């Protein structure tokens, strides 16, 4: 494509080349020729094997595990494109790592999400595109434009069909697994025209949670648990057990980002969750795939957003 004197090019580092390729194909493009490798001492080396002078460049890279390696790959690629005279450089980060370090929870804590935002800008990013930030206020950490895409419409379309095939929304309730996800769950419930309930829990320390009680009615209902990410799955599995103990008939889960670290796979396998619906913002290796997982593609959303950005059209209209 070449609408306003500059061509568009899609590049990928190593975190999710399949997603980058799917985005490029939907735009009718070939993935840009580049190589990201690691020297024997651990240093990352980037080679851009085609001209990008005057091009509108989009670099697709989720900063997922190994987080620091993938973040460094992205920063070095951005620097390479800046020094190669690209007209505009957009960092497409489907999953934004360090997003949970968005505030000082106690004295002398860093705000690492702000540091990452500054690093991206210093490396050469003119714009950032991401999806479902853990804390939406992170948008304000950037001094460059940021387009914040949402995964809820993709998940809602899936569950809308599921609800229609299972007798309508009378028997369904959307449940927030903790107080921090209430706004997200409320918006999701509105899309499905379902009531909402909340699991109130206390977290004694990081990655450990204790369920307290359930606000709302789940007895006799099919529960849809919604969160932005599944990391160790402690919160989600505790919430699933809590709603079943409270009389729910069935329980399903949906999340945008499948971080799935530590004991997550074992916990999800042993949990009462019938199905877990995820988006592919993070590549899932075979050892992290369960029969109860359904993975939905985000390439259609990102490709449309990239096309709109390139053509200087609004992105917000995608989510009205």
As annotated, the active-site residues are 201
Is residue 108 helix, strand or coil? Answer: coil
Distances (CA, A) of 248 to 97, 181, 214, 220, 240: 34, 20, 12, 5, 9
| CA Rg value for the chain | 20
Q: Strands 275-279 and 293-296: what pairing? A: parallel
Cα 95 off chain centre by: 4
Look at residues 196, 184, 198 and name the one whose alpha carbon lies nearest to residue 132. 184
Considering only the C-alpha atoms of the chain, give the largest distance between any 2 of them, rounded to a whole number of Å: 62
Contact, 77 vs 33, CB < 8 A? no
Contact, 294 vs 277, CB < 8 A? yes
Q: Strands 44-48 and 34-38: what pairing? A: antiparallel
């Amino acid at each position: 494509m070449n609408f306003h004197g500059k061509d568009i090019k899609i590049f990928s580092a190593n975190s999710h080349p399949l997603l980058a390729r799917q985005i490029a194909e939907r735009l009718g493009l070939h993935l840009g020729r580049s190589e990201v490798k690691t020297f024997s001492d651990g240093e990352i080396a980037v080679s851009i094997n085609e001209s990008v002078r005057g091009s509108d460049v989009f670099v697709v890279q989720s900063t997922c595990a190994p987080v620091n390696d993938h973040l460094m790959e992205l920063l070095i690629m951005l620097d390479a494109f800046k020094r190669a005279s690209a007209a505009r450089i957009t960092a497409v980060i489907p999953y934004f790592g360090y997003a949970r370090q968005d505030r000082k929870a106690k004295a002398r804590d860093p705000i690492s999400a702000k540091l990452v935002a500054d690093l991206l800008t210093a490396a050469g990013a003119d714009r950032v595109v991401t999806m479902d930030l853990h804390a939406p206020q992170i948008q304000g950490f950037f001094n460059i434009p940021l387009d914040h895409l949402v995964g809820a419409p993709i998940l809602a379309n899936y569950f809308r069909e599921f609800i229609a095939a299972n007798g309508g929304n009378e028997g369904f309730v959307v449940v927030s697994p903790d107080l921090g996800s209430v706004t997200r769950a409320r918006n999701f419930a509105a899309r499905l025209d379902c009531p909402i309930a909340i699991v109130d829990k206390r977290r004694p320390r990081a990655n450990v949670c204790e369920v307290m009680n359930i606000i709302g009615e789940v007895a006799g209902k099919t529960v849809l648990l919604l969160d932005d990410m599944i990391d160790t799955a402690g919160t989600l599995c505790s919430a699933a057990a809590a709603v079943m103990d409270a009389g729910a008939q069935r329980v399903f889960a949906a999340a945008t980002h499948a971080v799935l670290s530590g004991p997550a796979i074992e916990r999800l396998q042993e949990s009462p969750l019938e199905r877990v619906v995820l988006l592919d913002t993070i590549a899932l290796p075979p050892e992290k795939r369960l029969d109860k997982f359904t993975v939905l593609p985000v390439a259609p959303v990102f490709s449309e957003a990239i096309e709109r950005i390139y053509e200087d059209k609004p992105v917000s209209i995608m989510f009205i």
